């Protein structure tokens, strides 16, 4: 009766534990349950042939009960260390489970043998020589086991840490009796004997007392000597710090350094702190892409090896025709902008060479709402989103494509940006700065009035939609808005005189 209740309880526990650990892909519960069932069945069946009163029957019963006890201890170990403690968020390395279960099993076997009349103490004493022989032959194994226990107790390595051993880097996934397993970034598993870990020096990557886990990385790039380090560092740092980059720590900030002067170029490095230690290559690449675009925007090329030989016949005619082609394209771009309809063809031609090519990578912010700026952008290729933030929420109000322009209020009045414009794909822009436009305005101040008219018209049209103005109100609003914008344009351009 007692055996039936015990067997039922154990099987119920096995089912519950097996269900809770079904995703682990581990067969321990199945194996232990099978062992228990076999021991119970053997006890019942063999008990029939060998009654407990006989010597063989007694031994059969002892062995069956010993095995049942061992199976129950193993099952309780799994339940405690893989179900109960994880549910209570207590992280336990496997070795603790192994040690507890092994100790429990030895104690149970000792008690059971003693209960049945075996002299356990005498057995241990007389087997000392045998133990010594076995101990010597198991020296390495014991070294590994003690190493594993030492690593656990001094907490020098924990599951989840990233280790570097010689030139291999991997994340600790398991610390067992004999070995510690590391999973590398190349999808391999490295099995390291614990005695090796205890005897040798290893690095725990990204770990610093009381600090978040992050690893310092350096991404190098070459730039021609002709560009000033101040300019290079400023361009790269402002691009890397202006917005969050995936898995790059905000603190410490990414920094750009001039590392060395080489034969034909200066070697720079971006130092940044990686927060996802598994993604070093992908994030290095992300940082490199940001560097590439930042340099392109600043008009700073990456250096070309000094050995490169260029064989282009750079005649005056070739240069002139190339420049003329570019000017024609830019004039066409400027002419398509409504804001510049008041400008004469020769004024557009004067403005064209002053446009600065300004590329952005997908996701970069080109103009930020609320920031003061005094330049306008023409979108030559790619797409951009216009996003307005108000009361803490951001909404997309427009999508701009090739041929559009934005930032006109900044250029003409220096007002803070009314919206954020971000690149939706890689984009090529031409930037027109206030200084370039100023020269045209100085020569023909009347342009300001005509442009104010265009700006006022745009603004009033928007107000009409938002505020449902009728035609009389619209005419009045147009006139006051025009006066207001004209005053602000004049004031803005007078500031720099």
d(CA 414, CA 410): 4
Q: Which is nearer to ligand CMP, 223 or 367 (CB)?
A: 367
**Using CB under 6 A, which of 182, 347, 408, 436 touches ligand CMP?**
408
d(CA 435, CA 376): 12
Residue 407 binds ligand CMP (CB under 6 A): yes
Exposure string of 447-462, with b = 16+ CB inside 10 Å and e = fewer, is bbebbbbbbbebbbee
> Does an H or E element contain 452, and which?
helix 446-467
d(CA 334, CA 349): 9
Q: Provide CB contacts within 8 A for 458, sequence distance 6+.
A: 338
Taking each helix axis as running N to C, give the angle between helix 471-495 and helix 434-443, from 0 to 180 degrees, rounded to the nearest 10.
100
Report how far Cα 235 is from the mean position of its chain's Cα atoms. Answer: 23
Q: DSSP characters for 393-444?
A: EEEEEEEE-TT-EE-HHHHHH-PBPSSEEEESS-EEEEEEEHHHHHHHHHH-
Q: Which is nearer to ligand CMP, 147 or 407 (CB)?
A: 407
Whose tokens are 């232990």? That residue is 32
Q: Which is nearer to ligand CMP, 36 or 493 (CB)?
A: 493
Q: Using CB under 6 A, which residues numbered 340 to 379 contact ligand CMP? A: 367
Residue 92 binds ligand CMP (CB under 6 A): no
d(CA 165, CA 179): 14
Mapping DSSP to helix (H, G, I), strand (E, B) and coil, where does residue 354 land? helix
Stretch that binds ligand CMP, among 2-10, 262-270, 408-416, 472-480 (CB under 6 A): 408-416
Q: Which is nearer to ligand CMP, 217 or 490 (CB)?
A: 490
Residue 213 binds ligand CMP (CB under 6 A): no
Q: Which is nearer to ligand CMP, 461 or 476 (CB)?
A: 461
d(CA 359, CA 295): 10
Q: Which is nearer to ligand CMP, 30 or 398 (CB)?
A: 398
Stretch that binds ligand CMP, among 156-164, 410-418, 469-477, 478-486 (CB under 6 A): 410-418
181 with 173: CB under 8 angstroms? yes
Structure tokens given for 316: 């005056």
- Least Å distance between CB 492 and ligand CMP? 12
Q: Which is nearer to ligand CMP, 14 or 386 (CB)?
A: 386
- Least Å distance between CB 418 and ligand CMP? 3
**Using CB under 6 A, which of 16, 260, 332, 398 touches ligand CMP?**
398
76 with 84: CB under 8 angstroms? no
Residue 414 binds ligand CMP (CB under 6 A): no
Stretch that binds ligand CMP, among 4-12, 170-178, 401-409, 472-480 (CB under 6 A): 401-409
Residue 304 binds ligand CMP (CB under 6 A): no
**Using CB under 6 A, which of 417, 431, 434, 482 touches ligand CMP?**
417
Residue 77 φ/ψ, nearest 5 degrees = -60, -45
Q: Which is nearer to ligand CMP, 39 or 384 (CB)?
A: 384
**Using CB under 6 A, which of 147, 170, 359, 410 touches ligand CMP?**
410
Stretch that binds ligand CMP, among 33-41, 42-50, 134-142, 400-408 (CB under 6 A): 400-408
Residue 478 binds ligand CMP (CB under 6 A): no
d(CA 37, CA 68): 8
d(CA 6, CA 1): 9
- Least Å distance between CB 400 and ligand CMP? 6
Q: Which is nearer to ligand CMP, 409 or 447 (CB)?
A: 409
d(CA 144, CA 151): 10
Q: Which is nearer to ligand CMP, 158 or 490 (CB)?
A: 490
d(CA 147, CA 444): 85
d(CA 143, CA 454): 84
Contact track, ligand CMP, 272-301, x by CB under 6 A: ------------------------------
Q: Provide CB contacts within 8 A for 372, sequence distance 6+.
A: 410, 414, 415, 416, 417
> Would you give the end-to-end CA distance of the chain in angstroms?
105
Count of helices and strands (H, E) across the chain: 17, 16
- Least Å distance between CB 333 and ligand CMP? 16
Residue 386 binds ligand CMP (CB under 6 A): yes
Q: Which is nearer to ligand CMP, 301 or 401 (CB)?
A: 401
d(CA 30, CA 438): 83
**Using CB under 6 A, which of 268, 273, 406, 437 touches ligand CMP?**
406
Residue 397 binds ligand CMP (CB under 6 A): yes
d(CA 427, CA 373): 20
- Least Å distance between CB 469 and ligand CMP? 17
Stretch that binds ligand CMP, among 74-82, 122-130, 274-282, 418-426 (CB under 6 A): 418-426
Q: Which is nearer to ligand CMP, 273 or 406 (CB)?
A: 406
Residue 409 binds ligand CMP (CB under 6 A): yes
- Least Å distance between CB 234 and ligand CMP? 23
Structure tokens given for 102: 């092994």
**Using CB under 6 A, which of 197, 287, 421, 478 touches ligand CMP?**
421
- Cβ–Cβ contacts within 10 Å for residue 199, how many? 10
Give the residues lining the site for ligand CMP (CB under 6 A).
367, 386, 397-398, 406-410, 417-419, 421
């Amino acid at each position: 009766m007692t055996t039936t209740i015990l067997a039922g309880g154990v099987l119920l526990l096995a089912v519950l534990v097996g269900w809770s650990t079904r995703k682990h892909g581990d067969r321990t519960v199945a194996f232990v349950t099978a062992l228990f069932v076999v021991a119970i069945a053997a006890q019942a069946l063999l008990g029939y042939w060998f009654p407990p009163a006989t010597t063989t029957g007694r031994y059969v019963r002892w062995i069956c009960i010993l095995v049942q006890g061992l199976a129950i201890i193993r099952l309780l170990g799994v339940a405690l260390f893989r179900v109960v403690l994880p549910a209570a968020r207590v992280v336990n390395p496997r070795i603790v489970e192994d040690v507890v279960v092994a100790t429990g099993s030895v104690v149970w076997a000792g008690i059971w043998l003693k209960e049945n009349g075996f002299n356990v103490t005498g057995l241990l004493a007389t087997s000392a020589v045998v133990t010594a022989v076995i101990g010597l032959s198991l020296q390495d194994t014991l070294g590994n086991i003690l190493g594993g226990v030492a690593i656990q107790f001094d907490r020098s390595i924990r599951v989840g840490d990233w280790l570097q051993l010689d030139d291999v880097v991997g994340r600790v996934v398991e610390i067992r009796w004999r070995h510690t397993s590391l999973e590398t970034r190349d999808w391999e598993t490295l099995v390291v004997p614990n005695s090796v870990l205890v005897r040798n020096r290893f690095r725990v990557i990204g770990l610093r007392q009381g600090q978040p886990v992050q690893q310092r990385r350096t991404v190098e790039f070459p730039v021609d000597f002709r560009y000033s380090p101040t300019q290079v560092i400023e361009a790269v740092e402002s691009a890397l710090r202006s917005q969050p980059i995936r898995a790059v720590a905000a603190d410490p900030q990414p920094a750009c350094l001039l590392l060395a002067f080489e034969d034909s170029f200066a070697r720079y490095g971006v130092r940044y702190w990686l927060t996802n230690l598994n993604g070093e290559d992908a994030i290095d690449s992300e940082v490199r892409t940001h560097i590439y675009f930042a340099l392109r925007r600043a008009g700073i090329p990456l250096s070309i090896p000094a050995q490169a030989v260029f064989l282009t016949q750079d005649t005056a005619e070739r240069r002139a025709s190339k420049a003329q082609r570019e000017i024609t394209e830019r004039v066409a771009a400027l002419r398509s902008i409504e804001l510049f309809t008041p400008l004469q063809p020769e004024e557009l031609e004067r403005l064209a060479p002053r446009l600065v090519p300004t590329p952005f990578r997908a996701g970069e912010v080109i103009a930020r709402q609320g920031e003061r700026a005094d330049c306008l952008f023409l979108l030559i290729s790619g797409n951009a989103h216009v996003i307005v933030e108000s009361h803490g929420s951001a909404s997309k109000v427009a999508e701009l494509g090739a041929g559009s322009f934005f930032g006109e209020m900044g250029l003409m009045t220096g007002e803070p940006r009314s919206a954020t414009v971000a690149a939706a794909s890689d984009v090529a822009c031409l930037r027109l700065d206030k200084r370039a436009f100023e020269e045209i305005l100085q020569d023909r101040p009347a342009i300001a009035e005509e442009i104010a008219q265009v700006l006022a018209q745009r603004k009033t049209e928007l107000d009409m939609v938002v505020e449902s103005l009728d035609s009389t109100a619209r005419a009045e609003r147009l006139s006051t808005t025009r006066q207001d914008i004209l005053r602000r344009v004049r004031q803005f351009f007078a500031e720099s005189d």
